[in-house]
Amino acid sequence: MPYRPRSTLEQWRILQAVVDAGGYAQAAELLNKSQSSLNHAVSKLQSQLGVELLEVIGRKAQLTDAGEVMLRRSRVLTQQIEDLELLADNIEQGWEPEIRIAVELAYPKHFLYRALQTFYPLSRGSRVQIIDTVLTGTSEIIVQKKADLVIAGVVPKGYLSEPLYVSRFIAVVGAGHELANQLRLDQNQLSQYLQIVIRDTAQKPLENIGWLKAEQRWTVDNFNEAIEILQLGLGFCWLPDFTVASALAKGDLVQIQLSNSSERLAPMSLLTPQEETLGPGSKQLRQLILAEHLK
């Protein structure tokens, strides 16, 4: 007899949502479904499989050992289905209706904009969505395959990339800050001052990424916000040199000279999280971005 599945993709997606959201109530809100329907779906899944996947401890649903293994395998399955459907869309349409580009904030976007300028007459009406990402937020976009093209500072294990550019970070303060007149500092001295930090865009950011040794930190969303705060004489910040070149030239900002190293280098690379389903428009834009760095 032909094999008949005992479970559905929807059941596995619901289980994933319950685990990722931290409980039935949170998942119900996220999926816009009733909590009872999610309880029923997971309960039926466990019954159909004859395996206990979740156990409720207090108010939180936690995976059993068997559930850990099954959930991990289910994520591969649901991702493969999504990839298959995306491939079908690209085959049917021939040219993707939207191209999503995730860009690490530390990458100088004028390279991308010039590539897009060349791409526009060839784009066949494709919408282009540019997503700003920071640190582990960029890696998250790659692993979750939420963009067609990604310009990243850190390439996750298992992905291939093309080198584009090396961003140079320098520590700067406002001209009115007391550190502006210091000849040379070490990192221990610097850690005693307020640090302005750019927010990691990941849902679960890693705190050990980036230079975060200062005890007191203020977090902002982008470089422009950081520069405005610095110009008031508040705090210091590590920023890409191209973002502060004008302010340094005007004397509004001053580079801090550190005894061991006054700069941090961050290589930027271009990669495609889903090469096998990449559409023709994305492939063409990728080549144009690479060409910009060969000029």
Q: Residue 56's pLDDT is what?
A: 74
Using an 8 Å Cβ cutoff, are 100 and 127 in contact?
no
Q: Residue 212's pLDDT is what?
A: 56
> Percent of the chain scored above 70 by pLDDT?
93
Cα–Cα dist 227/173, whole Å: 9
Q: Residue 281's pLDDT is what?
A: 93
Radius of gyration of the chain (CA): 24
Cα dihedral value 280, 275, 73, 34, nearest 10: -40
Q: Residue 150's pLDDT is what?
A: 98
165 against 96, higher pLDDT = 165
Mean pLDDT, the chain, whole residue set:
89
Residue 195, both tokens:
């640090």
Q: How far is CA 66 from the centre of its chain?
A: 30
Q: Residue 152's pLDDT is what?
A: 97
Q: Residue 260's pLDDT is what?
A: 78
Q: Residue 89's pLDDT is what?
A: 67
Q: Residue 172's pLDDT is what?
A: 96
| pLDDT exceeds 90 at position 24 | no
Burial of 238 (0-12, 13-18, 19+ CB in 10 A): buried
181 against 205, higher pLDDT = 181
- Across-strand partners of 54? 63
By C-alpha distance, which of 252, 257, 236 is closest to 193? Answer: 236
User: Which tens digit of pLDDT belongs to each residue from 157-186?
Assistant: 999 999 999 999 999 999 999 999 887 888
Domain boundaries for CATH 3.40.190.10 within the chain: 95-164+268-292
In this structure, whether the domain defined by 95-164+268-292 belongs to CATH 3.40.190.10 is answered with yes
The DSSP symbol for 199 reads P
| pLDDT exceeds 90 at position 209 | no
3-state secondary structure of 89: helix
State the pLDDT confidence band at 210, using cuts at 50, 70 and 90. low
User: Could you give the C-alpha distances from 290 to 20, 31, 246, 281, 285, in angstroms and in order?
Assistant: 36, 39, 27, 14, 9
| pLDDT exceeds 60 at position 232 | yes
> Percent of the chain scored above 90 by pLDDT?
52
Domain boundaries for CATH 1.10.10.10 within the chain: 9-91
Would you give the end-to-end CA distance of the chain in angstroms?
62
State the pLDDT confidence band at 211, using cuts at 50, 70 and 90. low
State the pLDDT confidence band at 287, using cuts at 50, 70 and 90. very high
Burial of 107 (0-12, 13-18, 19+ CB in 10 A): buried
User: Which tens digit of pLDDT belongs to each residue from 45-90?
Assistant: 889 989 898 887 776 778 888 989 988 998 888 888 877 776 676 5
Quick one: fold of 9-91?
Arc Repressor Mutant, subunit A (1.10.10)
| pLDDT exceeds 80 at position 204 | no
Quick one: fold of 168-264?
D-Maltodextrin-Binding Protein; domain 2 (3.40.190)
Q: Residue 91's pLDDT is what?
A: 61
Q: Residue 147's pLDDT is what?
A: 97
Using an 8 Å Cβ cutoff, are 127 and 98 in contact?
yes
Domain boundaries for CATH 3.40.190.290 within the chain: 168-264
- Which amino acid is located at 218 in the chain? W
Q: Residue 293's pLDDT is what?
A: 96
User: Which tens digit of pLDDT belongs to each residue from 120-160?
Assistant: 998 888 899 999 999 889 999 999 999 999 999 999 999 99
By C-alpha distance, which of 114, 104, 85 is closest to 274? Answer: 85
Q: Residue 213's pLDDT is what?
A: 65
